[in-house]
Amino acid sequence: MQRTLVKDALNATAPSDAIVLEGWVRTRRDAKAFSFIELNDGSSFKGIQVIANASLPDYAHIDKVTTGASIRIQGKLVASQGQGQKWEVVADSFTVVGEADATYPLQKKGHTLEFLREIAHLRPRSNLFGAVFRVRSRLAYAVHQFFQSRSFFYVHTPIVTASDCEGAGEMFRVSTLDPKNPPKTPEGAIDYKQDFFARPTYLTVSGQLEAEVFACALSNVYTFGPTFRAENSNTSRHAAEFWMIEPEMAFCDLQGDMALAEDFVKYLIRDAKEHCAADLEFFSKFVDKELLSRLDFVLERPFQRCSYTEAIDILNKSGRKWDHPVIWGDNMQSEHERYLAEEHFKCPVTVYNYPRTLKPFYMRVNEDGKTVAAMDLLVPGIGEIIGGSQREERLDVLRENMAHHKLSEKDYWWYLDLRKYGSVPHAGFGMGFERMLMFVTGVGNIRDVLPFARTPGTAEF
């Protein structure tokens, strides 16, 4: 007989005389004549109650039905006599597929997030992490739905690259050279011509430059894949390996870019509320009591927009004592971004037209010569969730920007070609997928929305 998933059993419209369930035991409670088993297979937040009568031929083995064990149940789906559940299963037989002894770490008690990170191979079986990764899966699906329904093409950009899109230099090197005895040039430098790709190469920090290539041919494209930053940062918002969503649009300016970012955030929230209601309910009870009201608040209001210059003015007039001074021309810190979103505007806000000196070479220079057509979308509880810009489409200005950032035109000849042959205004942005997950779930640390977090000093599992 074919297996039924727990979620389908819970959503059944009629009882069934024959059903097979397979999953893991959450708890077992014994009475005189029967045992209650809570079974969960990960398909839904709620498990299903199974009643195993003492008259079953297998009942002699009930002591092996322990928390963490995997079991197979054959039985009947019947209306539940208990409260809080519509259906339960009366077992005709059960089989222990895989035993779990008393050392199983996820016994029925509270566990700290730090402890659960140490058992990342088992934590998806917990309520919290089962919920997180179901939402992650649904949100990834919704990303594709959003763009595909708007005639964007999905582009797979390379993970191994020779270009540093952000110019920060915090990249992981990819090499097959012997680290103990690398080949040297006559001058004594490492001879990368003998490396696998015959040049220095790295793990990508962004697929944006390659996405621009495809936007200048297919009009609207997006990437969605892993990106890497060798940044020695131990904050709750940074990881060395994370996922980025990067749309790129030809014939688009900064206004169109900001509008798409707002539509995108709202679409993902709506989709999560519709398809992950039980998981979000759990987060709002046990992780962040204000989660659902905050998500509704974001959906119901248009996002605010203000220029970087206006934002600096707001921060300076706030009367706050900041840990980092607020100076025009400096990057805004997390405390500044969160103040704007959480206390001043009390909703998501898009800050645009940043100082030219703060931003990478590819951003379009505004008419004032001092700012670029860049934008950051800030949300309550997280800070920056999206960063984007209109790209510099003028060849002479792009060359000037590259010279200012000390970039070699020879290394970016193909990128310059896009401005020589049918150049068009174009714009795009990058969304950190994990930061969006943190916003939708209320989970406060990026390590807890990644299946296996890669952070400084940690690459276990």
Q: What is the pLDDT of residues 26-65, one digit of tens each?
A: 999 999 999 999 999 999 999 999 999 999 988 999 999 9
CB 356 within 8 A of CB 371: yes
**Residue 440 clears pLDDT 70, i.e. is over it:** yes
Q: Which residue has the higher pLDDT, 360 or 236?
A: 360
On average, the pLDDT of the chain sits at 94
pTM of the model: 0.94
Least confident range from 79-83, 323-327, 349-353, 410-414: namely 79-83
Q: What's the rounded Cα separation, in Å, for the pair 461 and 453?
A: 9
Q: So what's the pLDDT on residue 238?
A: 85
Q: What is the pLDDT of residues 135-187, one digit of tens each?
A: 999 999 999 999 999 999 999 999 999 876 665 568 999 999 999 999 999 99
Q: What's the rounded Cα separation, in Å, for the pair 267 and 279?
A: 18
Which DSSP category does 363 fall into? B
Q: What's the rounded Cα separation, in Å, for the pair 57 and 84?
A: 30
**Residue 449 clears pLDDT 70, i.e. is over it:** yes
Over residues 377-382, mean pLDDT:
87
Q: What is the pLDDT of residues 105-117, one digit of tens each?
A: 999 888 999 999 9
Contacts of 443 (CB under 8 A, 6+ apart): 128, 132, 283, 287, 437, 449
Over residues 190-218, mean pLDDT:
95
Tell me how far CA of residue 102 lies from CA of 33, 58, 64, 77, 99, in angstroms: 24, 21, 11, 30, 10
CB 174 within 8 A of CB 202: yes
**Residue 82 clears pLDDT 90, i.e. is over it:** no
Work out the pLDDT band at 232, boundaries 50, 70, 90: confident
Over residues 433-457, mean pLDDT:
94
